[in-house]
Copies of this chain bind each other. A is one copy, B any other.
Amino acid sequence: MNKKTVILISSVLFLFSALFVFANKETIVSSVSFPEGYRQWVHTKSMVIFDKKHPLFEPFGGIHHIYVNEKGLKANQEGGEYPDGSKLVFVLYEADETGGAYVAGKMKFVAVMEKDKKRFSDTGGWGFEVFKAGSQAGAVKDSKKECFECHSAQKSSDYVFSRYVE
């Protein structure tokens, strides 16, 4: 082989491995994509965690709303198993207090659960992701540890904490 051929083959091999690493990284890092249009989904419930004494103040202090897409609505309202394609959003804002009232302040993050029994068989059939305010890149590194460890306690409601408030 002459020098030119070696350079060409090396370049091609390098590009392929770079592509492989990049593609793989994509799969691992953001298997659940940003839930575009979630604010048009059905709002199911809200909560304000305002005091340090609440056990979830550290991760979830603030005002949060839950939204569910059409596929997941029935299970959220009536219980039972969520069908594949169901999505739930938990969006957290700072809780701004003004004169005896709380309103939503700065957004903190958008968290998503997406049901796909095959893709997410290790975590109860649910994929988990968190998007910090303004970011479309997932922040979760190990959804088993960071998300499912807590959600696994909710097996009887298909690993979902929230229930629709009439």
* A interface, CB within 8 angstroms of B: 39-40, 42-43, 45-57, 63, 65, 67, 93, 99-104, 107, 165-166
Contacts and interface: CB of A to CB of B under 8 A. Distances in A.
A73 to B, nearest CB: 9
A104 B99 CA distance: 20
A99 B54 CA distance: 6
* Copies of the chain in the assembly: 2
B102 A47 contact: yes
A25 to B, nearest CB: 30
A41 B67 CA distance: 12
5 contacts: A39-B43, A43-B43, A46-B46, A47-B102, A55-B99
A93 B165 CA distance: 10
A65 B52 CA distance: 25
A61 to B, nearest CB: 9
A47 B103 contact: yes
A22 B56 CA distance: 55
A157 to B, nearest CB: 17
Given A43-B43, A46-B65, A54 B166 contact: no
B101 A51 contact: yes
A101 B48 contact: yes
